Amino acid sequence: FACLAWSHSETRLLYVAEKSRPKPQPPCPWDVPGATWPAAEDEDEEVGAPCVCSGKQFVYHEDWGEALSTRSVPVLCILDLQGPSLSVLEGVPEHLSPGQALWSPDDHGVVFVGWWHKPFRLGLNACSNRRSGIFHLDLASGCCGECWGSWGEPGCPWDADPLLPTELLSAEKGSVCSPRLSPDGQRLLYLEGAVGGPHRQCLRLRMVSWASRAPGTAVPPSQRPAPLAAFAGLYTEALPPRCWAADSRRAVLGTPQRSRTQLWSPTRVLSPGSSEGCWELLTLQWDLLVATCSAPHHPPSLVVAVLPPAGQELSLGWVPVEDTPTVPGVTWKTLTIQPPCSGQGPAAQGEPLGALLHLGAAWVPETLGTQVMPMLAPGGPHAVFDARWRPSMAALCQLGFAVLLVNYRGSLGFGQASISSLLSRVGEQDVADTQLAVEQALHRERLDPHRLALLAGSHGAFIALHLLAREPERYQACALRSPVSNLPALLGTSDIPDWRYTSLGLPYSFERVPCAEEVATMLLRSPIAQAAQVQTPVLLCVGARDRRVSPTQALELYRVLRARGVPARLLWYPEGGHALAGVETEADVFKNCAHWFLQHLGQ
């Protein structure tokens, strides 16, 4: 939701804040049983309302799920520095949660993204499939709601009806984000995807003419994987805050393309032939590009370039501003894996998948004796491992491991058909692809097939558990973060219950309740159903505040493994979320995972 935007006159600041709730009223000595309680209040409390009455302090308030547990009812605010005055915008429809706001070209209105939150909120983090729209709120005709002049005194720089007209600029039923106004104020650019279905998908780059409000498509979604040198579609989570060229006719953004992330000016690559695997645009101002580039063996370096005139982008020359040295002893390569074509399902089923192999300093081509570790997509299944700098992977390489990161069919960057091919095949296609990538890596490279381990998170951990059950004696150690192990149990505990249906190819609706057959299908696809086959020592790392995958998933698995005599250890981080982020938490997770592997694989 976050935004912080100066008006063009630089006298007002637009930002988003969480709407205040009444504070619980302490019990009073004169409260008596049988007293009449006030009438039922609306779902959302008004800003500045008095203390909530006794009996209502425990009313449940929804939030937006994982990583957004303190976000429930966002409001748009304007700070006028000339007054000074602070205003809370009204006129936003009650069924919308506003955010990502910016000023209209004349400063007489506000453009914002509005997310539908009726009948209830679904998790928003890492989900580009939630219904939302681009709206324009006209401020020119009057006051923007409740205002305070002189830092708290009543007053308002505008005098009129607070219920102002709101105009929808995007499609009626779409999922949108990142509105960006061109420097000349004539065009509005934003990303658009479909509502429902995969939680991450191939997006469209939409452009609206501000004068006519006529919509258009700058870049359509890519359905099928194109030839390796061609554009494979847009998969970025957000547009850079400043992405327009000075001519107001071109934009620059970064997006995954197979196993790399590259800079593109729609359909034209701006980082061609680079040895770096990941490019990220920081800003574009007055045609000066500021970006970072990194690779598995190279921490991010700061680079700049001047954007040439239209049609001459291939002459772009990057100049390093702050270079970082490469990490000695770490090398990497991209592997193309060709899965067998079964003749069923979408055309993408037989398309190649990608993998990244990181090799450590202890790897000697002439001998066997290194470890290989399939690293599965965290936070997926629709995610991607691009060839970027990952400190934990470089550290594992320096410990002597080889690390394999698998982009199975369903990962981002390979076309929408590849993403869709995984629906109804979760627990089958993704597991088979990962297993095939391991086998081909062992066949192509001089790696030790007798010392293999699994390191994965979220849906990647789901795949890893399936692999442990399929081949109980193949892997000598396994470390999992926030694992998915019991699909039907997530229906009532996850902030994205819709994914449990979509992953099996079933339609979802807000009032949906699973039937017995659907619950049985979910359980059969769950690793917990095959937990009796697991023999490999398993380390489990979970955050107690995980809203995406309940930590009780790992607790249930831990108890089953311990009961069967399988070596298992559970790390429970009280303040951790799904990503187990934070310096102290990340360091402890890495230390324990590395020690677990060294313990069970041998030095």
Every domain range in the chain assigned CATH 2.130.10.10: 1-21+60-143+162-221
Distance CA 370, CA 345 (A): 38
Q: What is the pLDDT of residue 375?
A: 66
Q: What pLDDT digit, counting tens, does each position of 479-497 carry?
A: 999 999 999 999 999 999 9
Look at the domain 452-485+526-602 and name its fold: Rossmann fold (3.40.50)
DSSP class per residue in 244-300 = B-TTSS-B-EEEEETTEEEEEETTEESSTT-S-BEEEEEEEETTEEEEEEEETTEEE
> Quick one: pLDDT at residue 351?
73
Note the Cα 67 to chain centre separation in Å: 10
- CA 561 vs CA 307, 527, 528: distances in Å: 57, 12, 10
In the numeric block, which tokens belong to residue 342? 């079964």
pLDDT of residue 350: 60
Angstrom distance (rounded) from CA 59 to CA 346: 47
Backbone phi, psi, residue 318, to 5°: -90, 140
Q: What is the pLDDT of residue 342?
A: 58
What is the DSSP annotation of 479-499?
A: EEES----TGGGGGT-S-THH
- The pLDDT score that the predictor gives to residue 272 is 66
Q: Would you state the pLDDT for residue 144? A: 37
Q: Judge whether residue 161 has pLDDT over 50.
A: no
pLDDT of residue 162 exceeding 70: no
Write out the residue limits of the CATH 3.40.50.1820 domain(s) in the chain.
452-485+526-602
What is the mean pLDDT of the segment spanning 358-378? 62
Q: Is residue 495 annotated as part of the catalytic site, yes or no?
A: no
pLDDT at residue 579, rounded to an integer: 95
Catalytic residue among 386, 430, 495, 546: 546
Percent share of the chain, pLDDT over 90: 71
Q: What is the pLDDT of residue 152?
A: 36
The mean per-residue pLDDT over the stretch 8-15 comes to 96
**Is 104 an active-site residue?**
no
The tally of CA atoms less than 13 A away on the side-chain side of residue 594 is 17
Please pick, among 458, 494, 526, 550, the residue that the annotation labels catalytic.
Answer: 458
Mean pLDDT is lowest, of 140-149, 154-163, 205-214, 575-584, for 154-163
Query: Is it the case that residue 41 has pLDDT exceeding 80?
Result: no
**366 has pLDDT over 80:** no
Which is catalytic among the residues 199, 297, 578, 600? Answer: 578
C-alpha span between 199 and 503 (Å, rounded): 10
Query: What pLDDT does residue 28 have?
Result: 56
Query: Which residues, including other chains, have CB under 8 Å from residue 142's CB and lie 6 or more apart?
Result: 158, 159, 160, 161, 162, 164
Q: Between residues 393 and 376, which one has the greater pLDDT?
A: 393
Rounded average pLDDT over 353-375? 69
At residue 406, does pLDDT exceed 70? yes
- Segment 128-156 mean pLDDT: 64
Mean pLDDT for 382-402 is: 93
pLDDT of residue 443: 92
Question: What is the CATH topology of the domain spanning 1-21+60-143+162-221?
Answer: Methylamine Dehydrogenase; Chain H (2.130.10)
Q: What are phi and psi of 528, to 5 degrees?
A: -60, -25
| pLDDT, tens only, 241-288 | 999 999 999 999 999 999 999 999 875 788 766 677 899 999 999 999
Least confident of 216-225, 386-395, 473-482, 510-519: 216-225
**What confidence tier does 21 reach under pLDDT thresholds 50, 70, 90?**
confident
Is 578 catalytic? The answer is: yes
